[in-house]
Structure 1
Amino acid sequence: MISSWRRRRATPRMPRGSLGDPVELTIPTHFRCPISLDLMKDPVTLSTGITYDRASIETWIEGGNFTCPFTNQPLQTIDSIPNHNIRKMIQDWCVENRAYGIERIPTPRVPASPAQVRDILEKMTAAARRGDFEGCKSMVEKIKNLGKESERNKKCIIANGTGNTFSSIFEAFSNPETFEKRIEILEEILSAMTMVFPLQEESIKHLKSETSLQSLAWFLKGGDISGRRNSVLVLKEIISSYPEKVDELGVIQGALEGLIKLIKDPICSSSKKASLFITYHVIASTSSSSNQGRFTKALLQMGLVSLLLETLVDAERSVCERALGAFDGICETKQGREEAYAHALTMPVIVKKILRVSDLATELSVSIVWKLVKNESKEEKEDGGIKVEALQVGAFQKLLLLLQVGCSEWTKEKATELLKLLNNLHRDRLECIDSLDFKDLKRTF
């Protein structure tokens, strides 16, 4: 009774006619979009003379349709003209009927046009050539403000080569001799560059140069919070296209420390994912075996094993997969395995991830366990052995269950080999595993 009374009180009262009946509000037909049939918020007129709501007609055109939905006539141009008269009439109608709960539609901002974006980019380039840092910075801020206004503006900005202009100016301003004088404008460009992701090939060519990498590494290790976040996101774009660039990045003083710091004290989820992604490629790099060993050794000395295990304890899926990928790469080296053997959480945490996160996480976890068990030395066996530890945390039972529910051929092969290696010990060992871990598990067949 009380709840129904509250619902009645929460419902706005509708105006009533002379007989006391509620008055039904009807939206005028010419105020409705012919596509959505809803009240238009940003009416625009096509070359056929028909007016639509901007969002509806842009969706129609983006779907590959180049005819007028109402008349079915071919569009001479896909450009639309704002219908200010209709919009003003709709706003007046909304005000007149505010008693019905109708809110006045806001006056929409004029969307960015390709010509407008190109004009700003030309002014930005000209300012950069004559060394006018303030003028260049002003143009960058204009682009950022346009992008913040709407998703449509952002698409227009990306489509007109903004990323290439940003990256070429960033490279030009990254001259080591004058770098300190240009930090402010470089930071502004770096911030704006994250708005035009994913970067095109031409843009990345400028950013992968030696001078650009030096600047990005500077922001990564010594910039403010925003600079560190933006630099690691741009570096991820570079490494995604050119994995071999991790060799150049790794030899830059302080770059690896900057990555570790972002994993340990992440600014946001995206920066942590990007840091783990780059760290994985640093470890997995095969372009220079000497550098690979040197980089991995340096990362291990910074406490990467402990850091990854702490990350894995309670991480979302994508972060977990990246951390497992980096850990799997560490276990390729003898020193990496020794660090893993020495950490008490290694086997409990890794085994826990089997069948708990994703197929990729399961595959990586099995790979890690296989590498640790397969390469166990005699000295480690005498100390208790990684096999015994694996059994104590339920590895044998989990691997059996993995074969039952299905997995890839590679994972199946490694799981089978692990079961053979553990078979001699499991009969005399108590399997410590919580059956609740698999209450929602379904077979794949």
Structure 2
Amino acid sequence: MNGLALRTGVRWKIAVAIAAVGALIAVTLSLVVHNAARVSMLDNAREVQMWRLISAQRVYETSKPKEPRFGTKINDPALPPQLDQLMRDGRRGTYIQEHDDGGPPDVWAAVPLANGDVLSLHVPFADRSATIMKDLDRALIIGSVSVVFGGCALGVLIGGQLSRRLRKAAAAAGRVAQGNTGVRVRDAVGGVVRDETDELARAIDALTDALNERIEAERRVTADIAHELRTPVTGLLTAAELLPPGRPTELVRDRAQAMRTLVEDVLEVARLDSASERAELQEIALGEFVERRVRALDPDAVVRVVHESWVNTDPRRLERILGNLLANAAKHGKGPGPVEVTVEGRVVRVRDHGPGFPEALLREGPSRFRTGSSDRAGQGHGLGLTIASGQARVLGARLTFRNAAPEGTPGGAGGAVAVLWLPEHAPTTTGSFPVLRLAD
């Protein structure tokens, strides 16, 4: 079982990454600057405190009677143990005493006197210094937030440019996949900057060229083989007509005719693959045209015109599509009911009541020389629907396939449904696809 996939855009991934890195750097630098500034200010306070104590010591030693002044004390009982130890060693020193309540620390300074007493001075850390630290912290917070938002905006800008290039490449690759082999992904991406997107585009273009060359080579081989077979098959069919009447003769004629039909279908597929076919357009009433052609091709089919519409299309190619769809339904879709043909505006539906299209065809579309599963008879060469789809592309139309709801479900009768969507406007280039709303 696949896990739940979270889809996010490249621009947001880049923006989050830059914002996260910016936040990490900003917090780190803020802590470093805060601590460095605090240490520097405390060191300066200690120096000032020691200078004051030395001045008070001079006054104390030269005055009579000897009295501590300027806030100094003799043998202060609150002297921190660290300074007390220094005094016993005969050294002077300073000390920062922190408070548990989080208030400003006390700055101590102490010196040993000649008579063994200790002269000390302690004052709270200056309010002005604390204010400066608060202002510095506020500035660091504002700077950090600005860096995060600025990094996020930069990430969106950079990621947006990369995302646009990737979307252009994906759209161009999609057009190539639809058969528009003239599209160059590198040209679609554009831009002055050269990055990995250009390498991807060049790789896709190279792959497209290689595939086009291979497909063209296969098409030429197929067309050449079919051309070479046409003459001997025609001769075989002519020779079969000269055979005496009888069952063997009928079998030979039937197989020769089937071979000839196959050769003609292969040639038609090769022409459609070459994208050289052009539609000869005429204005026709679609419902009336379909009804007449279906009556001629399959008198047992049921035709229903829901809404008549005039279309500009190629009647010969449209008849070829209808013929192939009806032949496929008659061959593979035998069921309890007749083939149903429905015309609604520019949409033509052909439905049978058989087992339905195989999953491979619904997933990948019709493929030559593949007839699908055996439940649709497993006969033929898989060229009928391939030719119908190719002719639809020439008309600028779209041919889709689906299966009706199976029997036993509400309103379901089973069967395969082929839907031909004719374009609103006549095609200007071979193989164009109209943008249609699928209301089926």
TM range (shorter): under 0.3
Greater helix proportion: 1
Greater strand proportion: 2
TM-score w.r.t. the length of structure 1 is 0.17
TM-score w.r.t. the length of structure 2 is 0.17
Answer with 1 or 2: which has the greater Rg: 2
